[in-house]
Structure 1
Amino acid sequence: MLRSLKALALALVVGGAPIAADAASDGRGPVTNLPLPRFVSMKAAEGNVRRGPSLSHRIDWVYVRRDMPLEITAEYGHWRRVRDRDGAGGWLHYALLSGSRTVIVEKDRLVVLARPVPDAPGVAEFGLGVIAALGKCLPDWCEIEAGGHSGWAPKSALWGVGRDELRD
C-alpha cells in the first residue's frame, strides 16, 4: 500500500520541474530518441529513486540490486523515470542504468529448456525472483542465463521483456 501511495505521489507531485512527456508522439524519448517505454537494468549496486529529475528532489527509496531490470517510461536531461516489476518507481540518474538486458523470473521453480519448444528436455530450474541475463527472444520464448546455467523460458514467466519483443 505504501508503494502505491508513493507511486501516486510521484505521479502528482514532481516539484515544479518541467517533466518530459512519457513519450513523444512517435514513441521515442525526447533526450535519447530511443523507444519509450523500454527495458534497461541497474548498472550500480545501489541507486536513489527520487521524486523528480534532479538531486534536489527527495529520495523516496533506494534500489539495491545490481542488474535488476527496470522499465524507462520518461526522460528529462540526465534523468530517467523508471518503474520496477511491482509498478513502483521514480527518477534515476542515467549513469546508474545499463542497456544490458536482464529479466526477473516470475514463476517459482521455472524449468528452463534446451530448446524453445514445450517438450524439450529441462536443463536447469530457476527460482522466483532470480535475475537472469536476457539473450535471444522469439515470439513466445526467450533464452536466459543465470548462475552458469542457460536455457529457454516462456516469455509469460519473465518480467523485463516486451510481450511482442524479438531479439537476435
Structure 2
Amino acid sequence: MKISTLLCTVLLACLSAAPAAADEVKTPYWASIRAGEVNMRAGPGEDYKIEWVYHRPQLPMKVLRMMEGWRLVEDPDGARGWMLARFLTRQRSALVKGQGLADMREKGSADSRLLWRVEKGVVALIDDCEDGWCQVKIGERSGYIRQDRLWGAGEP
C-alpha cells in the first residue's frame, strides 16, 4: 500500500511541475517571427481586428506579455499587438538601426578588419553579444556588428 501511495504522490508532483515550468519564462524577452506571414491583432484572439500583417521571417520582436497561447509583442517601429505564440521562435535576431551603414567586422573591435557594410533594416541572426559587439550571421556572411546598431540585441 505504501508503494502505491508513494507512486501516486510522485506522479502528482510531476504533473503539477509541468505548468510551473511554463510559467518560468519571464517577460520581456526577445523572439523572432517564425513564419512567412503573421498577423498582429488588437487583442489576444482571432476575433480581434488585424492591425498589421508581417511578411518577414526572423524579424525580431519584443515579447511583453503572455496570455494563453498569445503574446503581446512590440516590433522594431514600436507597434504593439498580439500574435499567436506558435508564429514566434526564441531564435535571436536583430534589425540593423541607426544612420548610415553599419560596419560588419571580422572580430568584435573597431580596429578589426572591415568585412562588409550593412544597410539599416537588414535582419541578422545573433550568436552572442559581448563587450558591446554582437556576433551575427546575415545569409552566408558572418561577422561582428556593434550592439548599439542592432534592435533586438541586449536586454529587452
- Report the TM-score, using the length of structure 1 for normalisation: 0.76
More helix by share: 2
Which residue of 134, 142, 151 maps to 1:159? 151
Structure 1 residue runs without a partner (length 5+): 1-29
Q: Quick one: which amino acid aligns to residue 125 of structure 2?
A: A
Deviations 1:100-130 (A, max 9, x none): 1110011432111111111111112211100
Alignment-derived partner of residue 36 in structure 1? 27
Q: Does 1:46 align with 2:37?
A: yes
Alignment-derived partner of residue 142 in structure 1? 134
- Report the TM-score, using the length of structure 2 for normalisation: 0.81
Q: More deviation in 78-87 or 144-153?
A: 144-153
State how 1:41-80 maps to structure 2 within 5 Å.
41-80=32-71
Is the contact between residue 129 and residue 154 of structure 2 (CA under 8 Å) also seen in structure 1?
no
Is the contact between residue 31 and residue 77 of structure 1 (CA under 8 Å) also seen in structure 2?
no
Structure 2 residue runs without a partner (length 5+): 1-20
Count of residue pairs brought into register by the alignment: 135
Q: Quick one: which amino acid aligns to residue 132 of structure 1?
A: A
Paired residue secondary structure (2:110) = coil
Is the contact between residue 126 and residue 135 of structure 2 (CA under 8 Å) also seen in structure 1?
yes
- How many Å separate the matches in 2 of 1:109 and 1:147? 17
Q: Quick one: which amino acid aligns to residue 138 of structure 1?
A: E
- How many Å separate the matches in 2 of 1:83 and 1:51? 12
Alignment-derived partner of residue 101 in structure 2? 109
Alpha-carbon distance, 1:73 to partner = 0.2
Report the RMSD for the aligned CA atoms in angstroms: 1.7
Q: Does 1:81 align with 2:72?
A: yes
* Identical counterparts, % of pairs: 30
**Distance of aligned partners of 1:63 and 1:127 in 2 relative to their CA distance in 1, 3 Å threshold:** same
Which residue of 93, 102, 107 maps to 2:84? 93
- How many Å separate the matches in 2 of 1:67 and 1:32? 25
Structure 1 runs (4+) greater than 6 angstroms displaced:
none
Alignment-derived partner of residue 123 in structure 2? 131
- How many Å separate the matches in 2 of 1:61 and 1:127? 24
